[in-house]
Structure formats: structure tokens, C-alpha cells
């Protein structure tokens, strides 16, 4: 198994190292749009290539966090404006072809309607909602400045968390990357085991958040009290039926 996994790992780290922070910006922009690029597989490895491998200076961590945050803002901003221009009917009809099925869209819509601008901030820490929140925000004309500010600070917190996680695992990453095919050494086995279990825990936490998000009690917009709907969304409540193009 190690013979199969190791070349993939080294190739991925080489790609990250080759494109540097620009690659982080692009990948995180994709993650914050409709492309299935998990941020958990971008920032932690970049903590090795952009911080540990370059000497570990504190300012390198700051640059990585900012690169990830800027990428999130770019991807979310573009998605916001696309959604605002094409509108809900188009997304309902064609979203499934772009990895945005109606069920996910409605989940994101209910989240934005219930929690407004603060929901944009919190959603940056949640799977599924994280990369879709820009769509209902654009559809319902949430103020772009408010949306961008909340996205920036939520993404800053998330990228900081992932960077810290990556820094905690850089020694294990270094051992695995520099093993040069010596898969039987005790150091490699221990490092690989630590990385595996750390990844399992991180994935379990993300999946747990996903399940909690899906199980949240969500009332239809028409049943929600007026004070539960953000003032700047009242004029753009969600329609009850799916409009036809």
C-alpha cells in the first residue's frame, strides 16, 4: 500500500511547492466556489511546503493564512455575483449539472435566512454550507460588503485552524516525504500512522459537523417569525415553489 500512496503524496507536495502561495490562492478560490476541492487537503500540506520547508519563520504562516483567506474571498465573491446575475430559477434548473443540486441549495438558503450575515461567518467552518453560502447570499441580494467582510473573517479563522493543524503534523510530513522508499523503517511507520490517525480525526470532525448541519431543525421561511429574518433579506424572501424558466 505504501508503494502506491507514497508517489501520490510526493507528487501532490511537489505541485504545491512548485506553485507556492499562488497555487494556494487558486485552490482555495476553487474550494469556495462549486469545485470539489477540500480545503483540508490544501492548507495543511501547504503548511509543510510554504512554512516548514522554508525555515518556519512566523511571517510565512501569516502569508499562508492570508493566501488561503484571499482565495476564499475571490471564489466566494465570484460565486456571489454569478448567482446574483443568473438568479434562483436558473440555479434550480441547472445547478445539478454544476454540483449544486436543489437540496443543497435549499439547505444553504435556509441557513442564510435564519442567521443572516453572522451565518456567513459561521458557515465558513461548516462543510457543504461553506462553499455554497455565496449562492443564496447572491440570490437574495445580501449586501456584498457585509457578505465579503463575514467571508473574510470566517475564512481567516478556518485557514488559521488548518494551518495550525498542518504545523502540528509537519515533522510527520517531512519523514514521509523524505523516506525515499524506506517504508519499513520505524520512523516512517510511526509518522505514517500519526498522519493517518490525525487525518481520520479531522475527517470525523468535519463529517460530524456535516451531520449536525443536516439534522438542524429548519423551518420554512413562511413559518419563521419576522425578527428571525435579517432585515436586508426581508424584501427577497425565498419563493415557495420552483419557478420555471
For the chain, the three-class secondary structure string (H helix, E strand, C coil) is CHHHHHHHHHHHHHHHHHHHHHHHHHHHHHHCCCCCCCHHHCHHHHHHHHCHHHCCCHHHHHHHHHHHHHHHHHHHHHHHHHHHHHHHHHHHHHHHHHCCCHHHHHHHHHHHHHHHHHHHHHHCCCCCHHHHCHHHHHHCCCCHHHHHHHHHHHHHHHHHHHHHHHHHCHHHHHHHHCCCCCCCCHHHHHHHHHHHHHHHHHHHHHHHHHHHHHHCCCCCHHHCCHHHCCHHHHHHCCCCCCCCC
Q: What does the block give as the cell for 5?
A: 500512496
- Backbone phi and psi for residue 34, each to the nearest 5 degrees, phi listed first: -100, 0
| Main-chain dihedrals φ then ψ at residue 214, nearest 5 degrees | -65, -30
Q: What is the pLDDT of residue 68?
A: 96
Q: Distance between CA 51 and CA 240 in Å, rounded?
A: 49
Distance CA 165, CA 208 (A): 18
Residue 4 pLDDT: 63
So where are the chain's domains?
A: 2-236
CA separation for the pair 53, 100 (Å, rounded): 37
- Predicted local distance difference test score (pLDDT) of residue 6: 66
Q: Are 72 and 29 in contact (CB under 8 A)?
A: yes
pLDDT at 181: 64
* SS3 per-residue string spanning 59-88: HHHHHHHHHHHHHHHHHHHHHHHHHHHHHH
Residue 156, C-alpha cell as written in the block: 481567516
Residue 147 confidence (pLDDT): 94
Q: In the prediction, which pLDDT does 214 show?
A: 61
pLDDT recorded at residue 98: 85
Average pLDDT, the chain: 80
Q: Which residues of the chain have pLDDT under 50?
A: 217-245
The owner of cell 498522519 is: 195
> So what's the pLDDT on residue 145?
94
pLDDT at 216: 59
Amino acid at each position: 500500500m505504501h508503494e502506491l500512496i507514497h508517489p501520490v503524496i510526493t507528487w501532490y507536495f511537489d505541485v504545491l511547492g512548485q506553485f507556492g502561495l499562488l497555487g494556494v490562492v487558486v485552490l482555495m478560490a476553487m474550494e469556495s466556489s462549486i469545485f470539489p476541492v477540500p480545503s483540508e487537503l490544501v492548507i495543511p500540506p501547504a503548511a509543510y511546503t510554504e512554512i516548514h520547508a522554508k525555515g518556519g519563520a512566523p511571517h510565512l504562516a501569516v502569508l499562508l493564512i492570508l493566501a488561503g483567506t484571499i482565495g476564499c474571498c475571490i471564489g466566494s465573491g465570484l460565486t456571489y455575483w454569478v448567482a446574483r446575475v443568473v438568479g434562483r430559477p436558473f440555479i434550480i434548473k441547472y445547478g445539478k449539472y454544476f454540483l449544486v443540486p436543489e437540496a443543497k441549495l435549499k439547505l444553504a438558503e435556509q441557513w442564510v435566512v435564519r442567521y443572516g450575515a453572522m451565518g456567513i461567518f459561521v458557515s465558513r467552518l461548516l462543510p457543504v454550507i461553506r462553499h455554497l453560502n455565496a449562492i443564496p447570499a447572491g440570490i437574495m441580494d445580501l449586501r456584498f460588503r457585509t457578505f465579503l467582510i463575514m467571508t473574510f473573517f470566517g475564512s481567516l479563522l478556518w485557514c488559521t485552524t488548518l494551518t495550525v493543524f498542518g504545523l502540528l503534523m509537519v515533522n510527520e510530513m517531512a519523514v514521509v516525504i523524505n523516506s525515499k522508499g524506506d517504508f519499513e523503517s520505524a520512523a516512517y511507520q510511526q509518522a505514517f500512522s500519526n498522519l493517518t490517525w490525525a487525518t481520520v480525526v479531522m475527517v470525523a470532525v468535519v463529517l460530524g459537523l456535516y451531520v449536525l448541519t443536516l439534522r438542524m431543525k429548519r423551518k420554512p421561511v413562511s413559518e419563521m417569525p419576522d425578527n428571525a429574518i435579517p432585515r436586508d433579506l426581508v424584501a427577497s424572501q425565498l419563493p415557495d415553489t420552483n419557478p420555471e424558466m
